[in-house]
Structure formats: structure tokens, C-alpha cells
Amino acid sequence: MMNDTLTSDVIGRRVEVNGEHATVRFSGVVPPMAGLWLGVEWDNPERGKHDGSHEGTVYFKCRHPTGGSFIRPNKVNFGVDFLTAIKNRYALEDEPEEEGKEQIVTIGNKPVETIGFDSVVKQQSQLSKLQEVSLRNCTVNGPGDKGGIAKACPNVRSIDLSKNLLSSWDEVVDIADQLKHLEVLNLSENKLKFPSGSPSPTGTFSALKVLVLNRIGITWTEVLHCASRCPVLEKLYLESNGIVISERPTDVLQTVKLLDLSSNQLIDENQLFLIAYLPRLEQLILSDIGLASIHFPDAGIGCKTSMFPSLQYLVLNDNRISQWSSINELDKLQSLHALSCTRNPLTESSKDAQTTRQFIIARIGQLRTLNKCAIQREERRGAELDYRKAFGNEWKKAGGHQDPDKNRPNEEFLAAHPRYQSLCLKCEKLTA
């Protein structure tokens, strides 16, 4: 397809030009310049020169005013099919073996003589034995000949296809259909076109457990569409897609244990409520989503929420959380054991990082790990004791008293410090 006979079939194809990726939006003549031109929209809009127009004529449209360029076809790399790429990377040409042939290899800094080394390398390179495949940035553009992948490398279980030239989800399906044991698939940085209709009921990704879709421009509706073909999916990575959670997943994502929504600028916590009832979700990564507050309206002070029933590990780094009330809310989660919340206004504004850590530990009773650092029994005991001391006078002014019959702290104090009363009781039991 790299000559002057290119047709409209190339429209929508992904291409590489001097290491940069783009999508073909136009193929034809651009007067007064002679010959055939391709109009491309760059992934990096700063790479282009215009918006798809030339001398007042609109040849194609770009999302960015400088996202387009006109390029001669012979300057464009349309890539290679999956099977060609995998052979280029892993297969060796057959050569006659020399009996007793010695070869010098370096292990560490020492040269070592080996006999039959070529045979070992060739054996390792046999495609039929491959289980893990990395084809990142190998200009893969599609599956290739029908049935070729299944015949050449049927035992592949993990594939990295990130940053390639795949144009559509259908091309991914054509590859996966031939790999019945596929468990891990990374498609990050491919600009894929997704089908708009209802997905086929067949389980194309019947064994897939890990799906990585970072920086591909996918929408939430498309996520649900893709996930519907992954009946045993456990880990789903969706970083940097501009996703807005628009609907509650009812029949999909029910087996997911880890969900990464980092850098999607969700902002609205109501979007999180739509995924709050995924039954097996154990790890939720919400770094850099613009989150300013957390609230579980179904649970009152001292009660547990029905939301996120299996959630054990929550990541809230690089957000806008500035109030202790959001930390208090996390104590309502039934299964939360690990929390990471670095680089938030609440954690960065204080000059005493150790005190901030103590207060978080004291406010979330079941926490075992904070910011990837285990909470030892003595640390928890000290944190809860210091927390009681820090707010003791405030508690007394609010109506708190060591005599249970006189202990009547007001609602304002209880809302600000929902665990304080239980910590007092805990301390009394320890000293009794």
C-alpha cells in the first residue's frame, strides 16, 4: 500500500512516520500539487501543521487546529501483521548445525565456551512454545493470514501489543480468536475504533484475566462492550482515557478484582457510586481523578456502608482531598485494609507528616497498611493514644466525660471524630 495506487481503503488506518503515530484521514490529490497525498491526523497534535485544510479547501478534519499534515505515501509505514512481527522478533533462520561447534558467550564479565549453544537458542525461539510475547512498538497492524497465529503460536498466554498500529477492536478480536489460552493482553496506546452494535455472545476472550487499555481513548460504554466478552476478567487498567462513568455495570465486570481509573478526571463522586456494587472488586486505583471528597450516604456515624463490599486496597494519590471528613468516611468501608493517599492537600499542607499519618491510622480502625508502609500494633496503639490526647479538650467542651452517665458529646463533635468514643472505650478496656 505504499505506492501511487492507494485507494480509500487506507482511510482510518494507523501509520507510522519517522517514529510518530498517526491516523490516515484522506487519500487523494491536493491541487495545485501533483501526485497522490495522504492526509494524516497525528497522535501528537504538535507534530502537525494545519487542521486538514489547504488553500481554503477542507480535505479532512482534525480535533486539534495543528493536528494534520499532508504526506507522500512512500514516507508512510503501514506496519506488518502480527505473525510477521512475532517471527521478526522471536524466530531464527534455519541454519545447518556444525557438530561440536563451540561458541563464546559472556556471563557477567567472564567469557565462557559453550557447545551446542545455537541449538538451545533455536529451541527457545520456537514459536509453538512461546507463552509470553512482547511486541511493543513493533508496528503491528492486524492479525495476518487467517488461522496463521493459531498454527504458529497456539500456546501464547500473555501479549504486550502496546503502542502499535492496530486500527480497530475487530482486529484485536481476530487475533484473540486464535489464542485460546490468552490470559494477559496489553493494548495501551493503540487508537482503536470500537463497534457501536451489540457484542457477539461468543466468548472470544474466554481465558483473559488481565486487560490493559491505558491511553487508547476508550469511553465507558466501549469499556462495557469489550468487557462483556471477557467472562473471567480479574484486572482492568483504564488509565488516561478521559473516561466518564455513565452507567452501572450490571452483567459485566462482575469478576473484576482490580480496577485502575487513574488520570481520568472523573471529579464527581457520584460516578464512583455506579461501580460501588461490583461484588469482587478488591483493589481500586483512583489516582489523579480530581476527587475532592468522599461520602457514603447510605451509612451513618459508626456504621458500615454497603458500597464496595470487597474493597481491600484503595489508592487516592494526587487528588484534591483536603478535609478529614473524607478520611472518616473510609472507616465505613467493610473490608478496607490498605490505603495510599499521598500528594493530597490534606497530607501535604501539614508540616508534620508523622502526625498526619497518626491521625489517618486513628480514624480508620481496620487499616493495616498506609502509603505502602505496614502499620504495626505499637504504631496503632501510639497513634490512637496521641489522637485522643490531641482532641481531648475539644471532646470535653463538646460534652464528653469519663463518667459514662455524663458522657454526652454533641453531634458536631461526633461527626468530626466518629471513632473518638470507641477509642475511649478501647482505652478503658486496656487499662481495666
Residue 401 lies in a domain: yes
**pLDDT of res. 204:** 79
Residue 27 domain boundaries: 8-75
End position of a domain, from candidates 75, 99, 129:
75
The rounded distance, in Å, linking the Cα atoms of 314 and 284 is 5
How many domains is the chain partitioned into structurally?
2
Residue 119 lies in a domain: no
- DSSP bridge pairs for 160: 134, 186
The rounded distance, in Å, linking the Cα atoms of 162 and 32 is 39
What is the domain-level CATH number for residue 37? 2.30.30.190
- The DSSP result for 40-88, as a single string, is EEESSGGG-SBSSEETTEE----SSTT-EEEE-GGG-B--EEHHHHHHH
Residue 360 lies in a domain: no
Which residue matches cell numbers 478488591?
282
The C-alpha cell that represents 302 in the structure block: 459508626
End position of a domain, from candidates 24, 49, 75:
75
Residue 206 lies in a domain: no
Residue 409 lies in a domain: yes
- Mean pLDDT by groups of 10 residues along the chain of 432 residues: 57 93 94 92 92 94 94 94 93 52 50 51 66 96 93 95 95 94 97 75 81 96 93 97 94 97 90 96 97 94 95 98 96 98 90 91 97 97 94 92 87 93 72 44
- DSSP bridge pairs for 105: 112
Residue 87 lies in a domain: no
**pLDDT of res. 2:** 42
Residue 226 lies in a domain: no
Residue 71 lies in a domain: yes
**pLDDT of res. 107:** 43
Compute and round to an integer the Cα radius of gyration of the chain.
29
Q: Express each pLDDT in 189-241 by its tens digit.
A: 999 998 876 655 555 799 999 999 999 999 999 999 999 999 999 999 999 99
End position of a domain, from candidates 59, 75, 91:
75
By residue count, the chain amounts to: 432
- What is the pairing mode between strands 313-315 and 132-134? unpaired
Question: What is the model's pTM?
Answer: 0.86
**pLDDT of res. 125:** 53
The C-alpha cell that represents 235 in the structure block: 484486572
